[in-house]
Amino acid sequence: MARRVSRRKMRRREDFPIKEQLKIEEGVFDNRTMMMLGKLLVRGAVSRMDFIIGKGKEADLYLAEHGSKVEEEQVVVKIFRLETSSFSNRMDYIVGDPRFNGIRSNVMQVVYAWCKKEYGNLKVAEEARVHAPRPYAFAGNVLAMEFIGKAGVPSPLLKHAVAANPERALRSILDDVRALYMNNLVHGDVSEYNVLMRGEVPYLIDFGQAVGRGHPKALDFLRRDVLNITSFFSKRYGVESDGELLFKEISAV
């Protein structure tokens, strides 16, 4: 009689290919994250992990090769850390968002909900034709999305780029902020650190904190977004604009 293997010892089908194909320059994934990466591979979002391209307080970014369901050759995989405590600093975005109802005391569930929320927010941005990474798939604490860059090199942050036409760049960002608001979404953290310059086209990134217009602080976040980005262009490029007036115009749509 063949000996039965307990379910606890059995490896999941999706664990095999990802463990064989992972080639990581930095970082160590726990078993739970490995399982989520395996799910993205099975779903055709990625085929091989390459190397880390960015580290943040809450997540790390990896470059990956595309899977069968993605046309672009390279994909960004954002992996939210399950052990992070920095989400406690995001309570202004969590409290009042129905997507977090009943899970604020469980760190893992908060991280999973945050990842799912960023995917959903990016889908809204895509449908609104906003310049932002296209989302491909998510599982647990792992999100696969469009790579904004070229030949494995990410596009520079607005903070570090030099815009040839700063007036046009600012107008593009404000148009995207307006388009998001018209589609019931406020980014909530627009700044020179959350905009990538793909050539002369600014792309908004980091949508995890974005909230709906019904959020109790939505207008506060919108006002801050507009004032932050207009202030940056004023200081860096001398582009003068009335941030308060622009906020009122956008919030009136």
206 in catalytic set: yes
Which residue among the candidates 189, 220, 225, 242 is catalytic per the annotation?
A: 189
Token reading at 74: 């390279």
| 5 contact partners, CB below 8 Å, separation of at least 6 | none
Give the CB-side neighbour count of residue 63, counting CA atoms within 13 A.
18
Residue keyed to tokens 């470059």: 63
The secondary element (H helix, E strand) that includes residue 85 is: none
Estimate to the nearest angstrom the gap between the alpha carbon of 124 and the chain centroid. 12
Q: Enumerate residues 6+ apart whose C-beta is below 8 A from 128.
A: 179, 180, 182, 183, 185
Return the amino acid letter for 13.
Answer: R
The CA distance from 91 to 100, in Å, is: 10
**From the DSSP assignment, how many helices (H) and strands (E) are in the chain?**
7, 9
Residue 248, C-beta contacts closer than 8 angstroms, at least 6 positions apart: none
176 is an active site residue = no
* Selected catalytic residue, list 60, 206, 225, 242: 206
Distance (Å, rounded) from C-alpha 80 to C-alpha 133? 17
Give the active site residues: 189, 206
